[in-house]
DNA sequence: CATGCTGATGATAGCGCAATCATTACGCTT
DNA sequence: AAGCGTAATGATTGCGCTATCATCAGCATG
């Protein structure tokens, strides 16, 4: 306690004054007063405790606890230009795919002491630009954004930001900085190969909310069928609305109607649609997989347990979030990363819904 | 470089100097220099454009755009003590229930110009306390937290924060500030009543990750059965692990085994478990609903479309997020709110899986 | 023409903290 | 015993912005 420095007395009248008004926000200086040290020492106790002698540290910590002091992160960030914030932009909160990626991000970032500021771009590059501005105004130390569909202005901001940035979900030819994803086009291609291999011949396609990644899957689908001369334009049914089980059922019905039921397999761009198609097929008394193969994408948990179990493409969503986060953290810690581009791969989980053999 | 300041000349060499080194962060002063106005005017253009003449406003805006200026939110927050941040604490990112609530929160908060800082407490009050400290250190203008299970210390922080706080998901006897939720116990009670009404007699219970809300549902279940003298302790099977479709199947098997298959209905505390139970029942050739009723909770989309369709309890998750956000915004705008406590209610969606009549 | 008012703009100070550079005390070396 | 290094602590300054108050021009009023 007590620790004078000037000449005269000037003991400690401020202290009691502050404490009285339990309203006023407690600051570092209040803690310093209360524990008889300088403000900077309190700061050290919080940020670099090893630099403070044990006795002082305990004394200060006691004051912090008893006053219920909570540091003002804005002041800290301003003074140190370190925000401990990572910005994350995803196109949709309700899509389970992104939720899982987020889990990975939160896991790693949380453990490393970073806060995550999350924004939702609603699948719109313009919205994304606005949101990225918002993120950047928080001086994030790193950024994770989805895909490569940024506006020109947005790309400018991002380049100027000079912080580690990872674009996730898809593999990009020309990433802004780092990139973690997998090859959607190839995955779509491989799905069709698998279906063909199982003896299905007239393979339809069901898609909703046709974002760039879904488009790529469709291109892969198309390419594979063209290669064997089995591509039919009217086997494709899509809608711009968000995908859901209900929409999957509708699209399946409409595919059946528009093709007079000749289609014997459907590749659905995600598992929601696939489940919807499967449930609808059951209601229509179409036997899966005997009369109809159904393949989804993402391999959500239900795919494995539904009857018949649903073939789907497993992608490491959680792992993608983890990987992206780890890369950013490594860069921030100035450790080397193996590569700026990481292909997470995928795996077709072959299950009952496409197994005619 | 050049950059004078002493007495003499010092016209405007700083400006050019700044621009050249495209690295340096652009600040308000840079924009002010570039557009020949004072810093405070630039600040007004951004925050209160109506207070600046149109000519100046355009001129300044041009400078902002050409320099790619992005305001530093930390400095702004520090100076104005307004962060435009709302803190949100949820127990789990992967639980669809919270995802939907989040959607509602983001929708409303985003439109109102607030950023959402989201933390995951992993169902742990201690973790929650730490996370709430993190949130408070960002000087949020409002807080949305889950449930009423805070530690003493955490409650202290929250009370001292003097910002609008909404506790969501469940109805609390003694909320910290505001409260939006529904009566889980009553919902559990009503589910059992429904099952009894359908002629089921030996009603089992399957639960995972027994958080306070799940416990309440179980209490309701127990109460309803006790009232009619049909409660059997060994009809309850639970696990502390997170719930999932797979776990639902396992628990269903274990319930069947431990009761020698006498149970003729199962109340599952959420739809994942219920789907798992349903799929497992199908595999065991137990007919639903003839031999076995299955009821879930939350009414996720799959419940409506699975075959047979799944009875579940619909709760306005999205709406709960919206409501909580609106309440906070009203308080921040000093508008009156109807009540500090809002019961969102619930509705039992009676579907095929419990319809023996 | 003095007065007061309004709207537009600027100068100054300070938000709460940490970077930076002192300062001090206490050893240890030669 | 002088010199030096080191560990612990403090004083000062400034991060980028906005609150506050001041200034000033333009204009209407009586």
Average pLDDT over residues B211-222: 97
Average pLDDT over residues B105-131: 97
Residue that is written with structure tokens 């898609």 in the block: A207
The answer, yes or no, to whether residue B137 has pLDDT greater than 90, is yes
Taking a C-beta distance cutoff of 8 angstroms, is the pair A195, A356 a contact?
no
Write out pLDDT tens, residues B194-207: 999 999 999 999 99
* pLDDT value at residue A286: 97
Burial class (CB in 10 A: 0-12, 13-18, 19+), B198: middle
Residue A355 touches chain B, beta carbons under 8 Å: no
What are A40's two structure tokens? 């900077």
Taking a C-beta distance cutoff of 8 angstroms, is the pair A208, A269 a contact?
yes
- Percent of chain A topping pLDDT 90: 90
* pLDDT value at residue B24: 74
Average pLDDT over residues B212-235: 97
* pLDDT value at residue B18: 36
Going by their DSSP bridges, the two strands B312-314 and B347-349 should be labelled as antiparallel
Residue B102 touches chain A, beta carbons under 8 Å: yes
Average pLDDT over residues B139-156: 96
pLDDT band at A2 (very low <50, low <70, confident <90, very high): very low
The answer, yes or no, to whether residue B20 has pLDDT greater than 50, is no
* pLDDT value at residue A16: 35
Q: Could you give the residue ranges of the DSSP H alpha helices within chain B?
A: 13-20, 28-35, 39-47, 54-67, 73-80, 96-111, 125-136, 152-161, 184-197, 212-227, 245-258, 271-283, 301-305, 317-332
Three-state SS at A63: helix
Q: Give the distance, in angstroms, between residue B56 CA and nucleotide D30 C1'.
A: 35
pLDDT band at A25 (very low <50, low <70, confident <90, very high): confident
Average pLDDT over residues A97-104: 96
Average pLDDT, chain A: 92
pLDDT band at A127 (very low <50, low <70, confident <90, very high): very high
Cβ neighbours of B23 in A, within 8 Å: 162
Three-state SS at A113: coil
Average pLDDT, chain B: 92
* Cα nearest neighbour of B283 on chain A: A307
The answer, yes or no, to whether residue A270 has pLDDT greater than 70, is yes
Q: What is the DSSP letter of B298?
A: B
Write out pLDDT tens, residues A162-221: 999 999 999 999 999 999 999 999 999 999 999 999 999 999 999 999 999 999 999 999
The answer, yes or no, to whether residue B264 has pLDDT greater than 50, is yes
The answer, yes or no, to whether residue B277 has pLDDT greater than 80, is yes
pLDDT band at B6 (very low <50, low <70, confident <90, very high): very low
Adjacent-strand bridge partners of B165 = B143
pTM of the model: 0.91
Q: Give the distance, in angstroms, between residue B134 CA and nucleotide D16 C1'.
A: 23
Write out pLDDT tens, residues A220-239: 999 999 999 999 999 999 99
Residue that is written with structure tokens 């003590």 in the block: B81
**Closest-lying nucleotide for A30 based on CA to C1':** C16
Using CA atoms, how far apart are residues A14 and A11, in angstroms rounded to an integer? 9
What are A134's two structure tokens? 């918002």
Residue B155 touches chain A, beta carbons under 8 Å: no
Residue B231 touches chain A, beta carbons under 8 Å: no
Please state, in angstroms and as integers, the Cα–Cα distance from residue A60 to each residue in A9, A49, A67, A80, following that order.
23, 11, 11, 22
pLDDT band at B153 (very low <50, low <70, confident <90, very high): very high
Average pLDDT over residues A266-280: 98
* pLDDT value at residue B294: 98
- Percent of chain B topping pLDDT 90: 92
Q: Is the CB of B29 under 7 A from strand D?
A: yes
The answer, yes or no, to whether residue A18 has pLDDT greater than 60, is no
* pLDDT value at residue A23: 60
The answer to whether B305 contacts A275, with C-beta atoms less than 8 Å apart, is yes
The answer, yes or no, to whether residue A12 has pLDDT greater than 70, is no
pLDDT band at B22 (very low <50, low <70, confident <90, very high): low
The answer, yes or no, to whether residue B1 has pLDDT greater than 60, is no
Write out pLDDT tens, residues B320-354: 999 999 999 999 999 999 999 999 999 999 999 99
Using CA atoms, how far apart are residues B294 and B352, in angstroms rounded to an integer? 9
Q: Is the CB of A44 under 7 A from strand D?
A: yes
Closest by Cβ to B73, choosing from A93, A138, A162? A138
The candidate with the shortest Cα–Cα distance to A271, out of A249, A240, A242, A303, is A303
């Amino acid at each position: 306690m007590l620790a004078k420095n000037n000449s005269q007395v000037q003991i400690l009248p401020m202290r009691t004054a502050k404490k009285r008004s339990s309203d006023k926000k407690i600051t570092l200086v209040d803690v310093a007063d209360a524990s008889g040290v300088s403000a900077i020492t309190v700061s050290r106790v919080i940020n670099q405790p090893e630099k403070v002698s044990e006795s002082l540290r305990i004394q200060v910590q006691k004051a912090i606890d008893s006053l219920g002091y909570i540091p003002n992160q804005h002041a800290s960030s301003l003074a140190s230009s370190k925000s401990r914030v990572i910005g994350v932009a995803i196109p949709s909160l309700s899509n389970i795919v992104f939720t899982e990626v987020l889990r990975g991000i939160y896991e790693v970032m949380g453990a490393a002491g970073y806060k995550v500021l999350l924004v939702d771009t609603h699948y719109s590059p313009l919205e994304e630009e606005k949101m990225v501005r918002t993120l950047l105004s928080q001086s994030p130390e790193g950024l994770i954004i989805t895909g490569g569909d940024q506006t020109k202005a947005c790309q400018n901001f991002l380049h100027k930001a000079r912080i580690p940035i990872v674009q996730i979900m898809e593999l990009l030819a020309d990433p802004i900085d780092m990139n973690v994803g997998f090859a959607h086009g190839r995955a779509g291609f491989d799905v069709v190969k698998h279906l063909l291999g199982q003896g299905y011949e007239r393979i339809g396609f069901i898609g909703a909310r046709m974002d760039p990644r879904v488009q790529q899957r469709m291109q892969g689908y198309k390419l594979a069928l063209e290669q064997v001369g089995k591509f039919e334009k009217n086997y494709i049914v899509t809608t711009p609305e968000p995908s859901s089980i209900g929409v999957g059922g509708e699209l399946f019905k409409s595919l059946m109607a528009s093709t007079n039921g000749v289609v014997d397999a459907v590749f659905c761009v995600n598992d929601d649609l696939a489940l919807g198609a499967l449930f609808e097929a059951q209601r229509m008394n179409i036997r899966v997989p005997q009369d109809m193969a159904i393949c989804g994408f993402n391999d959500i948990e239900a795919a494995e347990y539904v009857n018949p179990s649903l073939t789907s493409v497993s992608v490491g969503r959680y792992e993608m979030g983890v990987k992206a986060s780890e890369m950013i953290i490594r860069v921030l810690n100035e450790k080397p990363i193996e590569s700026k581009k990481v292909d997470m791969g995928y795996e077709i989980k072959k299950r009952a819904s496409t197994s005619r053999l």
